[in-house]
Structure 1
Amino acid sequence: MSAESTPEPGIPGEPGTDGPRHRAKGPRKQRSEHSKALRLMAWTAAGIVVLGGTGAGYLYFKLNGNIKSVDINGALGTDRPRKVDNGSENILVLGSDSRSGSNRKLGGGPDDGSARSDTAMIIHVYKGHKKADVVSIPRDTLIDRPECTDTKGTRHDAASGVMFNSAYTTGGAACAVKTVESLTGLRMDHYLEVDFSGFEKLINDLGGVPVTTTKNISDKQSHLNLKAGTHTLNGRQALGLVRTRHGVGDGSDLGRIQLQQAFIKALVTQVKHVGIFTSPEKLYQLADTATSSVTTDSGLGSVGALASFANGLKGISSSNMHMITMPVEYDPANPNRVIVQQAKAQQVWTALKNDLPVPASATKGTATGEAKGVVHAG
């Protein structure tokens, strides 16, 4: 088949062109070719790479085979909050604290194959996909965990007064989603999980992430030692930053969450400025790392679906991401645990359900962790 008759690949979510190509005259020719190059690069970034003839199919299936997915809908059935059809989306993102394989040396602890949800965030994407609210759920929050069935069909009993991250440890992704939906009354449209080693490699592939720290941060447990000032964090340093809880603030999980939120904003900014669209090889490297590092719900379990999903989020800049923590207070019986401030938390969930901004009153007077402003984009 000649190059003139080969269908042109499209951007995820848009149809390709199968008809003959017509060359524009004059200055328009340059714009047309530039536009075509950008479309090819966007396709590459999504994982559908065209790096030359017969290799394209291999690279597609290579990336497609990287993705691990779980059937959340099949495990949870119909006993879930109703999906609100207002154009918004809710995505549960977990950072998994695995104790096996390449994560062993990063996570510490015994190589027993166990895993915890070290980080949990609900990303609410507003209608129009131009802004998002990110609500962090402290892993040390004491909750009532609902009965749930995991993706292997095993049923797990309900439990009262247990830590939030016990849901993932007990029943994996399905039980984590079930617990979040029970806690919030919000339907989770998608699930994304990133592991330690994948996170570290992704940061390295990006060439690091610039941040500025306003205070010295030193934590032997997370292997982090940063002087106040501007740094370009490599993967190991970035991982240490999002995991540290003793090096800054009041030493609680809440302080760590504030560091995580600041780093995510810096990461989003870096991705938009790193210039990956000028290098197809760089795009493929990042796509390979990203698809190897995530576990998704089955709805995102292919390169095409994941690419279309990512393409729909690309319009959200760090300045349009509102970061908050689920309203909590320290547990009077145990200062190392927190409990939900129910009335304030309900303000958050009601606003998101109706695709409205979270009112400032919802987060006033809540426990914070005292680490806000310590880290920001460099």
Structure 2
Amino acid sequence: MTRAGGPVRRSGISGRGDVGDPGTPDRASELGWDDSLYERGAERRASVPGQRPAPDAEGHGDGRGDDGGGNDGAGQGRSGRGGRASRRQRRKPKPRWRRVLVWTAASLALLVAGVAVAGYLYLEHLNGNLTKKPRSAGSGDLEKPPPNAAGQSPLNILLLGTDSREGEENQRLGGARDLAGGPIRADVQMLLHASADRSNITVISIPRDTQVPIPECTDPDTGEVYPAVGSDSINNAHTRGGPGCVLATWEELTGIYIDHFMSVDFAGVVDIADAVGGVPVCVEENVHDPKSGLRLEAGETIIQGEQALQWLRTRRGFEGGSDINRTRAQQMYLSNMVEELQASATLTNTGELMDLAEAATNALTVNNEIGSVQALYDLATDLRQVPNDRINMVTLPWLPDPANPDVTVIPDPTASAELFEMVRTDVPLDDQDAEPSEPSSEESTNAPQPSPPAEVAVSVRNATGSEIQAPADGRASELTNELLRLGYAQATTDTASVETAPTTEVRYAEEADRVDAEALAEALGIPRDRVMASPATEGVALVIGDDWREGTAFPETPDEPDETATEDEPAIAEDDIISGAGGEDCMAVDPNYTW
């Protein structure tokens, strides 16, 4: 790490101590990592992305939003591309920390496996520390695609960070002790896609207030069944069945089969940092944030214990005062912690290694299929094949939510569909011009062909309508008749399902139905990127969105760019991609919080 401002200092603070000022009441929050949890008597503002309230009574700050919200990019820049414009307004992040959430879990897995020298019985003890849950809690499930001609399969892992208040340490970190035992949200969500040949990794993060359909889920711990909802914030999926419901929601959203999930709370991460002996962080100038309590001199400092907690919750003290930069600071901390683990002599000291392994296994919740030290070791070894400079991260393209544009967002239907298609077809973000790998002649011969239209069961659903206008009458019947005319003799009108959709989609349940869904879309003139996997669907379904309120020919949407004008434009702009090529980084400091 570059040492800006002098030699490395080791903080004199160790251990945890109490969070916040004595006597400050814990306050409930949907967000476990907001320093506003520890304010005294402050009123919560609306969770408007990018909101900037007035300075506090002490005169600190310049009105940066105590939104308690932040949207991991939402509201920070031009609509539809996850905040691209904001990069022109703030310091461009350097790439040192960018692969942290990719490698944190993998490094923990390697760490755990290193205790094999301690013997079989201790390994069994560590296996017992891991929290294990079913892979999916959804009512439907995507089929895992078959391997390619070389026998290779991509690997998709959902990485989650939760706001759990379970246990004294999580209450100490997150505050709001009265929330212990209550619903747990997953505020950090990233989908890691390792290509079939392990040459590259794509990581897609999603703003936590993104409104998405959440499928029916069953809580594996209580057996409670949560009915599907048409739209809710994606971080709430965790409250409806745990990480397995979040996985089912991502599969519904993306049409991508997800192999595993790994969930981490920050209590375990901080325990590991203490066991390692501290984690180096860096600020460009002296910083003092009275809200979080963080006070550091310019340059690099090794922090642990209570000071580590202060770093992880600081927002106002960093340049921009946004949740985005707080997330960046957390990522820097985790990235440097992983580097300390890899470089530390602790990994050769059996006693200290056992302490670390205890913390790591207690920190992780994983799906049953990787619920052992050996499975985690194999997974981590597999991922470490990928070169660091081929790890690329991107935020899901988004648009303001028409129902609540100042607070929540929705996936950009066109750009997000293109991104998901790239992942499904194994096209890397750093080579978007590449075509999906060509199938062998045998694969081409054996490629599934669409069924005759008369043999395809199609349900037609009228999902027109929005917050500002009623559904268009008779749309399902009209398009059912059109499908009958086109030879789809089993087309029927679905009157039981009630939902609204801004855009038209053709949905299919299983991979075997995909070619039939694509053929149906082609017959109606619907773009191929509107064909979506949906485990809750039976067979093939035509969902008529609010963009097709009349006629039987799918309309050319006026806001879609002309294809000839965008022929060479990549699905994701280069400045929206964060590369993992390495570098150095120090957090920039808000000038109102220097000393």
TM-score range, shorter chain: 0.7 to 0.9
Q: How far apart in 2 are the matches of 1:68 and 1:58?
A: 18
Q: Look up the match of 1:312.
A: 382
Of the three residues 355, 362, 366, the one matched with 1:296 is 366
Q: Look up the match of 1:324.
A: 394
Per-residue CA distance 1:238-257 (angstroms, 9 max, x = gap):
55545544444555544444
Any conservation in 2 of the 1:242–1:260 contact (CA below 8 Å)? yes
Matched residue type, 2:218: T
Q: Look up the match of 1:50.
A: 117
Considering only CA atoms, is the larger Rg found in Structure 1 or Structure 2? 2
Per residue, is there more helix in 1 or in 2? 1
Of the three residues 227, 238, 258, the one matched with 1:168 is 238
Q: How far apart in 2 are the matches of 1:200 and 1:251?
A: 23
Q: How far apart in 1 are the matches of 2:399 and 2:341?
A: 34
Structure 1 residues 57 and 196, CA gap change in structure 2 (3 angstroms): same
* Structure-to-structure mapping, 1:1-378, within 5 angstroms: 45-46=112-113, 48-51=115-118, 56-73=119-136, 75-76=137-138, 79-80=141-142, 82-83=144-145, 85=147, 86-102=152-168, 103-112=170-179, 113-114=181-182, 115-129=184-198, 131-152=200-221, 153-214=223-284, 222-234=292-304, 236-248=306-318, 250-316=320-386, 318-331=388-401, 333-358=404-429, 359=432, 361-363=571-573, 375=587
Any conservation in 2 of the 1:329–1:367 contact (CA below 8 Å)? no
Q: Secondary structure at the match of 1:203?
A: helix
Any conservation in 2 of the 1:167–1:176 contact (CA below 8 Å)? yes
Structure 1 residues 172 and 194, CA gap change in structure 2 (3 angstroms): same
Per-residue CA distance 1:241-274 (angstroms, 9 max, x = gap):
4554444455554444444444444344333323
Q: How far apart in 1 are the matches of 2:334 and 2:386?
A: 13
1:198 Cα offset (Å) = 0.8
1:297 Cα offset (Å) = 0.1
Q: Secondary structure at the match of 2:428?
A: coil
Q: How far apart in 2 are the matches of 1:235 and 1:356?
A: 42
Matched residue type, 2:157: I
Any conservation in 1 of the 2:112–2:373 contact (CA below 8 Å)? no
Q: How far apart in 1 are the matches of 2:306 and 2:201?
A: 28
Q: How far apart in 2 are the matches of 1:271 and 1:357?
A: 29
Matched residue type, 2:159: V
Per-residue CA distance 1:97-131 (angstroms, 9 max, x = gap):
11232211211113331222132111222334454
Structure 1 residues 44 and 260, CA gap change in structure 2 (3 angstroms): closer
Q: Secondary structure at the match of 1:50?
A: helix
1:196 Cα offset (Å) = 2.4
Matched residue type, 2:233: M
1:46 Cα offset (Å) = 0.3
Structure 1 residues 322 and 68, CA gap change in structure 2 (3 angstroms): same
Q: How far apart in 1 are the matches of 2:409 and 2:295?
A: 28
Q: How far apart in 2 are the matches of 1:253 and 1:84?
A: 40
1:231 Cα offset (Å) = 2.7
Any conservation in 2 of the 1:81–1:186 contact (CA below 8 Å)? no
Matched residue type, 1:111: D
Q: Look up the match of 1:22.
A: none
1:58 Cα offset (Å) = 2.8
Matched residue type, 2:413: Q
Any conservation in 2 of the 1:84–1:353 contact (CA below 8 Å)? no
Q: How far apart in 2 are the matches of 1:124 and 1:67?
A: 23
Q: Secondary structure at the match of 1:339?
A: strand
User: Please, which runs of 5 or more residues in structure 1 have no aligned partner?
Assistant: 1-41
Q: Look up the match of 2:16.
A: none
Q: How many residues align?
A: 327
Matched residue type, 2:121: Y
TM-score (norm 1): 0.74
Per residue, is there more strand in 1 or in 2? 1
1:222 Cα offset (Å) = 4.9
Moved more, 101-110 or 121-130: 121-130
Matched residue type, 1:308: D
Q: Look up the match of 2:463.
A: none
Per-residue CA distance 1:189-209 (angstroms, 9 max, x = gap):
111111221111112222333
Any conservation in 1 of the 2:214–2:249 contact (CA below 8 Å)? yes
Moved more, 82-91 or 261-270: 261-270
Per-residue CA distance 1:155-190 (angstroms, 9 max, x = gap):
212223421111112221111111111122211111
Q: How far apart in 1 are the matches of 2:128 and 2:374?
A: 12
Once the two structures are aligned, what percentage of the paired residues are identical? 34
**Which 4+ stretches in 1 moved above 6 angstroms?**
364-368
Moved more, 81-90 or 158-167: 81-90
Q: How far apart in 2 are the matches of 1:270 and 1:320?
A: 22
Structure 1 residues 251 and 155, CA gap change in structure 2 (3 angstroms): farther
